[in-house]
Structure 1
Amino acid sequence: MTKLAACNRACAVFLFCSATAIVLPAQTFTKLADFNGNNGNAPSAPLIQGTDGNLYGVTAFGGTESQGVLFRLTPGTSLKSLSLTGVEDNPFGGLLQATDGNAYGTTLSGGNPDCDPAGCGTVFRVTPQHAVTTLHSFCEAPGCTDGVGPIGGLVQGPDGLYGLAFRGGNLNCFAPLGCGTVFKIGFDGMLTTLYTFLDQNDGWSPQGPLVLGTDRNLYGITEFGGNHACIPPNGCGTVFKLTPRGTLTTLHAFSGTDGCAPTAGLMQGADGNFYGTTQGGGPGGCQFGGGPGTIFRITPGGALTTLHAFQYADGANPSSVLLQATDGNFYGTSEAGGANDRGTIFKITPDGVLATVHSFDGVDGRLPVAGLLQSTQGTFYGSTYEGGTDDMGTLFNLDVGLGPFVAFVRSYGKVGQTGGILGQGFAGTTAVTLNGTPASFTVVSDTYLKATVPPGATTGYVTVSTPSGTLTSNVAFHVIP
């Protein structure tokens, strides 16, 4: 059962299943592991890189009670399942490495059974020692004003963590399920409902993680709502902006021909624009056949451009967040389509030229619903929801020849604030600079260091001088007032 299928149990989520693809040479794809139930089942979110240099992820099902599994992947070694004792059901949204050293995530169900015997969902914390704590259980009824079913991942803001619940809130909206909420939660578990979707005009069923823009506003998508002429009366979904004080602006309502049913969330590119995908729609619209989906760019002001409309042979039904890699191009996955109709990995340039990097064949996985991670070694890592030896999903990596770099735990901060930097080969580091300004630093381990934003620093890229050479950050660090 995919993430969308899980949503389908609670509200009528529509799946839009959907020509010549460009295939790139010299790509090295390797299947790393098969999930078998005991070590996990159905990974649905991108991996994260921990401060110890290992990669971490969760599966939506599997483990001793089929509630999900936390796993660790050490590059170059085998997969290891870790305890998720104490976590509730179905962590679809993946993990966030936060600045306090812990990881945070959400579960679709579990917790309070006020809305459903399976539970209304939770927010949880995982320590570096893999101890799990539930920070919040959704819906204390009546009204479920905090939301139900936090299906997406979390994002860290200056004052806490932010996330989405795909239903709950105003139960008169799409009665009796509710149209969803945006929430903020502190490291102490104190949750505030930042916005409640009111009706089908401002959107309903918010999906995917939020993204914190460089303007400090939150940006996200709803799977439905907006333009009621598109799949009446449900609408084809929206893109929205939300201020830290909870004022929502609908930036775009999809019409069908420019896409419909966005489920992946957005990412902000180096050019300041936002990039995303829709699972359905395209030139043929959303009616009847649904369409195989699109890739789009949208400015912070709401001007949307369709960069690519899928044609099945080059992929179909993308449902993962895009990743802008260190070569400046965007990488993502499509659930279906490709040479074997088992899904694809694709690359698209900022101006919309798409190439198929890999077509899954079932043995190496199928239904890749999760996005990709580019580790600081330059290699991509990802997963498939199904396929492999036991048809419970796979883990893979993809080497396209990109070199090592450094990444931030949080890519913004004030002068005097200390932030974490991920990478490798940090032992013996001699200098760290922010846009050319030297910064004080402390090497914590070979894969993690801390640096302080220096006086006079301006927004720009960070460099770390190690015995093996100088590493540059994959994104700019933003100095904020």
Structure 2
Amino acid sequence: MQIRSIATALALASLLVASSLGTASAQSFSVLHSFGGSDGRNPAARLMQASDGNFYGTTSSGGSATDCPDQAGCGVIFMMTPGGAVSTLHVMTPAEGAQPSRLVQASDGNFYGVASRYGIGPPTGCGFTNSCGTFFRVDPDGTLTVLHNFGTTDPSWPTGGLLLASDGFFYGTTLTSVYRVDTAGNFTTLHLFDRATEGSGLNGPLVEGSDGSFYGTAFEGGPPSSCPDTTDGSCGTIFKIDNAGNVTVLHFFSPSEAFHPAAGLVLGQDGVFRGTTEDGGLHPSFGAGVVFEIDGAGTYSIVHYFDNGGYVPEGLAPRAGLLQTADGAFYGTASLGGLPVTSPDVAGTVFRLDPAGNVTVLRTFTGPDGRVPLAALFQGSDGKLYGSTFVGGANDLGVLFQVDPAAPLPVASLTFDPGVIGEGQTSTGTVTLSSPAPVRGQVVDLSNTNPAAVSLPATVTVPAGATSATFGATGLSVLSPAVVKVFASVAGAGLSTELTVSVGPGPALVSLTLDPTTVSGGESATGTVVLSAPAPPGGALVRLASRNPLAAMTPLFVSVPRGDTSATFTVTTRRVRNTTPVAISASRGGVTLTATLTVTP
């Protein structure tokens, strides 16, 4: 949803500080333009390529700083040549609207769009004075005509952009409705959404299905729940609507899976819709977001989780829709996160999702090259991907960029042999580059998403002229098998593979003792576990348990430090009415030992 994304991005941008690029950029990426304010600022909408071969787009603010002063300008409509030369087509005024969204070119050669704010709607009831939004036409020479003002007799706040459907009409969304409009501005509200049963905060643009219905998402709404950032805890919906205005909700998001979709859907070549959420996933409280798929009947599944053990190497909070290319892969942007995971400068990614659900990172933004991408990508006639970042660049006001999806990643592959290790065992990792390393060698960043399960170096250097290098990855003590995703990257572009750390073999548990063995309720005892050999690097975990935690409690586990053969832990007790024997157990590698602690009144 454009309005919320822009507000959120402004808050996030204030927390991110640009830094130097450091490593040279991958050749597949280039910054085409840095916005300066008078030519626009904060682009947040997808570019499009018109019939003349040029690209056209909008910025959400900038232009004349004295207009729309609460957002430093109403926004700019611009043109960019295939060579990357940018010129201003039109500077928005308050009466024409502010925060213009993506443009659509109709058969008449003109461009059509909506602006989310301002216009000449009624001065009250829209949240800001004169800020209900507009539907406009702009010709190739830059002459803009307002065709409809939102918020007069219909809902305000148009979101996300327009869909030019097969019937020749434009379809779009406001925060609370779906509408239809023609090139003359004849406007019809198709449906007003009920927040609790259908959704609210609708995201545009809609997408047309093969059945002629239109499909979309709502950022919030649906049954009240416990999702954050909404007044009623609602999580959002996926819906379809026909051209008569009949709505069917296909999916209600929930806090237990994923929630808050912030962009529209894309119809895949297989007839299945795909989209993103900016929150939820494997750890809902962390909220990294997911990629999901859903068919026209409402069959829903999560394709990819962006959360990797609390790390976000592939990106965090995707707020833009996906793009599918001819090879079947999907491309998108995530507004935060990136590679390597130890860098404080990561500020969003461009990623590729293959048909099997595997993600590779084509670019990590760091500031000078842009940060916080909010817009979906567009594939030009040259096969390259074009996009924008909300902030960053030379003036920290956003950039336009180009990515070549056909260019090989700096890292061609990452493998481990063996792929499964136990604690204390080492696997050999091999990084292979797409081309020989330069004269000074090539440093490859290694990102470990579970340092509690495996130990590996932060970098590995491929020698000059070579294409590969090896490194060691050592398994640490785990209580249950751990599948660890490891990334190899150069200049924030990289890929991943998995290494499994199994329980054991490692040193065996040979002894469990308690001292004293009898205590009064409220006193504590000291437990000691002994291993058959010194603990490996990272230590050795022993799981603990009490058969009667109301009388005596243990920690969940104790760690024997590296090189030691024993460790102690504390058993705390509570007052009891009768003498109570409590079985205390220690488990490791399939061996469980038990000792009895007697708790007296």
Same fold, TM-score > 0.5, yes or no: yes
CA RMSD of aligned residues (A): 2.1
Q: Secondary structure at the match of 1:262?
A: coil
Counterpart for residue 350 of structure 2: 345
Q: Does 1:163 align with 2:176?
A: no
Alignment equivalent of 1:389, drawn from 394, 400, 411: 394
User: How many Å separate the matches in 2 of 1:78 and 1:62?
Assistant: 18
Task: Identify which range, 181-190 or 70-79, moves more after superposition.
Answer: 70-79
In the TM superposition, 1:112-151 aligns within 5 A as 112=121, 113-115=123-125, 116-140=128-152, 146-151=154-159
Matched letter for residue 229 of structure 1: S
Q: Contact 1:92 / 1:152 at 8 angstroms: preserved in 2?
A: no
Q: Residues 9-38 of structure 1, C-alpha deviation per residue, up to 9 Å, x if partnerless?
A: 9xxxxxxx9xxxxxxx97610011100101
The aligned counterpart of 1:355 is 360
Alpha-carbon offset, residue 54 of structure 1: 0.2
User: How far apart are the structure 1 equivalents of 2:232 and 2:355?
Assistant: 34
Residue 406 (structure 2) aligned to one of 401, 406, 429: 401
**Match for residue 375 of structure 2?**
370
* Structure of higher CA gyration radius: 2
Structure 1 residues 321 and 126: alpha-carbon distance in aligned structure 2, compared to 1, 3 A threshold:
same
Counterpart secondary structure, 1:154: strand
SS in 2 for 1:83: strand
Structure 1 length-normalised TM: 0.73
CA offset digits 1:145-177 (Å, max 9, x no partner): x211102100012141010011xxxxxxxxxxx
Structure 2 counterpart of 1:47? 47
How many Å separate the matches in 2 of 1:314 and 1:239?
25
Structure 1 distance, partners of 2:37, 2:59, is: 10
Tell me how far 1:118 sits from its aligned partner.
Answer: 3.6
Which structure dedicates a bigger proportion of its chain to strand? Answer: 2
CA distance in 2, matches of 1:191, 1:293: 35
Q: In structure 2, what residue type is equivalent to 1:32?
A: L
* Identity in percent: 39
1:268 is aligned to 267
**Gapped regions of structure 1 (runs ≥ 5):** 10-16, 18-24, 167-179, 403-481
Residue 195 of structure 1 is matched in structure 2 by: 191
Shift in Å, 1:290: 4.5
Paired letter, 1:68: G
Shift, 1:100, TM fit: 2.3
Is 1:239 the counterpart of 2:238 in the alignment?
yes
| Contact kept in structure 2, 1:84 and 1:132, CA below 8 Å | no
Alignment-derived partner of residue 81 in structure 2: 74
Superposition deviation, residue 228 in structure 1:
2.4
Separation in 1 of the partners of 2:325 and 2:374?
19
Q: Distance in 2 between matches of 1:359 and 1:387?
A: 13
Give the SS at the match of 1:4.
helix
- Native 8 Å contact 2:124 2:130 kept in 1: no
Structure 1, 33-42 or 107-116: larger mean CA deviation:
107-116
The answer (yes or no) to whether the contact 2:333–2:376 under 8 Å persists in 1 is yes
CA distance in 2, matches of 1:245, 1:350: 34
Identify the residue that residue 216 of structure 2 maps to in structure 1.
Answer: 220
The answer to which structure, 1 or 2, has the higher relative contact order (CA under 8 A, 6+ apart) is 1
Aligned-residue offset at 1:401: 2.3
Q: What is the aligned residue count?
A: 367
Distance change in 2, residues 1:43/1:218 (3 Å): same
- Asked if structure 2 preserves the Cα contact closer than 8 Å seen for 1:31 and 1:397, the reply is yes
SS of residue paired to 2:60:
strand
Q: Is the 8 A contact 1:373 1:380 kept in 2?
A: yes
One-letter code aligned to 2:156 = V
How far off its partner does 1:131 sit?
A: 1.1
TM-superposed deviation, 1:229: 2.7
Aligned to 2:320: 320
Shift of 1:52: 0.5
Residues 222-276 of structure 1, C-alpha deviation per residue, up to 9 Å, x if partnerless?
0011242342833111000001101100000111233111011001010001010
The answer to whether the 8 A contact 2:332-2:352 is kept is: yes
Tell me which amino acid in the other structure corresponds to 1:239. Answer: I
Contact 1:32 1:395 in 2 (8 A): yes
Distance 1:192 1:8 in 2: 31
Residues of 2 paired with 1:149 and 1:314: CA distance?
32
Deviation (angstroms), 1:329: 0.3
Residue in 1 that maps onto 2:91: 84
* Structure 1 Cα separation of the partners of residues 27 and 302 of structure 2: 27
Give me the whole-angstrom Cα distance separating, in 1, the residues matched to 2:238 and 2:226. 15
Q: Could you tell me how far apart the structure 1 residues matched to 2:5 and 2:266 are?
A: 24
CA distance in 2, matches of 1:306, 1:361: 29
For residue 388 of structure 1, report the CA deviation from its aligned partner: 0.8
Shift of 1:207: 1.3
The equivalent of 1:152 in structure 2 is 160
Paired residue secondary structure (2:4): helix
Rounded Cα–Cα distance in structure 2 between residues aligned with 1:165 and 1:384:
24
Shift of 1:94: 1.3
Q: Aligned partner of 2:242: which letter?
A: T
Q: Counterpart of 2:384?
A: 379
Query: Hey, what's the Cα distance between the residues in 2 that align with 1:258 and 1:376?
Result: 37
Q: Secondary structure at the match of 2:375?
A: coil
Match of residue 117 from structure 2 = 109
Aligned equivalent of 1:295, options 278, 291, 296? 291
Q: Name the CA distance, whole Å, in 2 between partners of 1:242 and 1:131.
A: 33
Q: In 1, are the aligned partners of 2:195 and 2:222 still within 8 Å (CA)?
A: no
Equivalent position of 1:424 in the other structure: none
Instruction: Determine the C-alpha separation between the residues in 1 that align with 2:353 and 2:256.
Output: 20
Flag the 1:220–1:156 CA change in 2: closer, same or farther, 3 A.
Answer: same
After the TM superposition, which of the residue ranges 109-118 and 391-400 deviates more from structure 2? 109-118
Whole-angstrom distance in 1 between the partners of 2:217 and 2:242: 14
Residue 362 of structure 2 aligns with an amino acid whose one-letter code is: V
Asked if the contact 1:225/1:237 (under 8 Å) is kept, the reply is: yes
Q: TM-score, normalised by structure 2?
A: 0.59
**What letter corresponds to residue 126 of structure 1 in structure 2?**
V
CA positional deviation for 1:313: 1.7
Alpha carbons 2:5, 2:374 under 8 Å: kept = no
Cα contact 1:381–1:395 (8 A) shared by 2? yes
Show the 5 A alignment for 1:325-336: 325-336=325-336
Match of 1:417 in 2: none
Question: What is the alpha-carbon distance in structure 1 between the residues aligned to residue 33 and residue 6 of structure 2?
Answer: 25
Q: Report if the CA contact (8 A) 2:5-2:319 is conserved.
A: no
